Structure 1
């Protein structure tokens, strides 16, 4: 018989599969822990471990006094080949021993169109920050990044706050806790502006990572399209059967 560690991972896998298949829909409450105890024939501790794993992975969110709910994200965006998430880190955190900087090309407050509103799970025409940055590592341009953030989640953001680590400002000054991200990865060709800013020929493909970043409350904090130089960036993942 499998030990508790294996068992709670199996339960988390089963619930995750039900979420990805659409059996558990966004905003749907999961069965109560006492009911899951009976369903899986395990202890309450094992169920709690499985739920905590799903919270860390970004699939569900706990609401005090109400229960555990599936996060509100677009299941179709995950695709059929969704992999087990790894710990989410921002751009600066991914380069801890290097000099990270940003050229801010655009920073403004705008009303969200329908597409951006859907990505951020807000109503169309709600106000958002829209920023465009070229992220650099050791002064070399690595990624062209376009970001949208609801103003309601981060009041008082200024130009000088986005030159450095946006997440550091958000967590230390904005009082939010960034927990997870859902990402789609694809290959695209650069626009003329992207090629110019990244200092590459327009024939070099870019690695596009489209991200929805979630807070620990389950709210969508950020929608970002990052286009990385394919000669400067490698994406690593681990998949388990």
Structure 2
């Protein structure tokens, strides 16, 4: 499956930034210039800029444009943006991420899940648990719930590939906003069995609800990883 255009643009701009084509603390050319160069829409360029901003490579100033960031000395290889919507395969590379399905079932939501996903008790959901492997090493356990009415015909083939690509490209649905909570936790039996966590290893847990652009919640999930495999980062910017 071909990479989305905005990701292709973002990849090229990232290479140019890393190679010093654009100087740090200097503004990038405007979106219209890149739209013409890459033969894409301004919206595509904006999405590419947004992705680079989440990675800490650029920052935006209201009325002035988008600037190349300076070096971030505390940055590490474990860093992952806490506010990304692209999924692991697009973030870390499709060839680098594999999925092992630990659980996949259809069930009716309990009271809490009815609230999380704004469902009635007779509206079924998927209950999915996947172990994500990065370069064939255990990386994250994802426990995901989704309404069947919004994500029909989900199957194991899709689970082994990318649920988000299926939602965005096949179902033509767009994420609008998300609420995310990050906290420390003690290891569960799943963490010990599949992530190799020891009894005293701290775990990092990301709990989230994602809504579509029309305001419907499409995902409630809890992702867990060992303390030494992934960090979550957020680039904060005062644009005024």
TM-score range, shorter chain: 0.5 to 0.7
How far does residue 202 in structure 1 lie from its aligned partner after superposition?
2.5
Change (3 A) 1:86 1:185: closer
Check whether the contact 1:87–1:180 (CA below 8 A) recurs between aligned residues.
Answer: no
Once the two structures are superposed, the pairs formed by residues 167-178 of structure 1 within 5 Å of their partners are 167-178=164-175
2:223 to 220, 226, 230: 226
Matched, 1:115 2:112: yes
The unaligned stretches of length 5 or more in structure 2 are 1-49, 51-81
Partners of 1:169 and 1:89 in 2: how far apart? 12
Change (3 A) 1:97 1:111: closer
How far does residue 160 in structure 1 lie from its aligned partner after superposition?
1.5
Partners of 1:160 and 1:212 in 2: how far apart? 24
- 1:24-58 CA-partner distances (Å, limit 9, x unpaired): xxxxxxxxxxxxxxxxxxxxxxxxxxxxxxxx9xx
SS at match of 2:200: coil
Q: Which runs of 4+ in 1 moved over 4 A?
A: none
Tell me which residue corresponds to 2:46.
Answer: none
2:158 to 146, 156, 161: 161
SS at match of 1:202: coil
Normalised to the residue count of structure 1, the TM-score between the two structures is: 0.61
The unaligned stretches of length 5 or more in structure 1 are 1-55, 57-84
1:197 to 194, 198, 204: 194
Tell me which residue corresponds to 1:135.
Answer: 132
SS at match of 2:105: strand
Matched, 1:149 2:146: yes
Partners of 1:149 and 1:188 in 2: how far apart? 24
Change (3 A) 1:239 1:113: same
For the aligned residue pairs, the C-alpha RMSD in angstroms reads 1.9
- 1:181-234 CA-partner distances (Å, limit 9, x unpaired): 210010001112221111221221111000111112111111000011210001
Normalised to the residue count of structure 2, the TM-score between the two structures is: 0.61
Tell me which residue corresponds to 2:184.
Answer: 187
- Count of residues paired in the alignment: 158
Once the two structures are superposed, the pairs formed by residues 37-56 of structure 1 within 5 Å of their partners are none
Once the two structures are superposed, the pairs formed by residues 90-129 of structure 1 within 5 Å of their partners are 90-96=87-93, 99-129=96-126
Tell me which residue corresponds to 2:28.
Answer: none
SS at match of 1:213: strand
SS at match of 2:146: strand
Check whether the contact 2:187–2:197 (CA below 8 A) recurs between aligned residues.
Answer: no
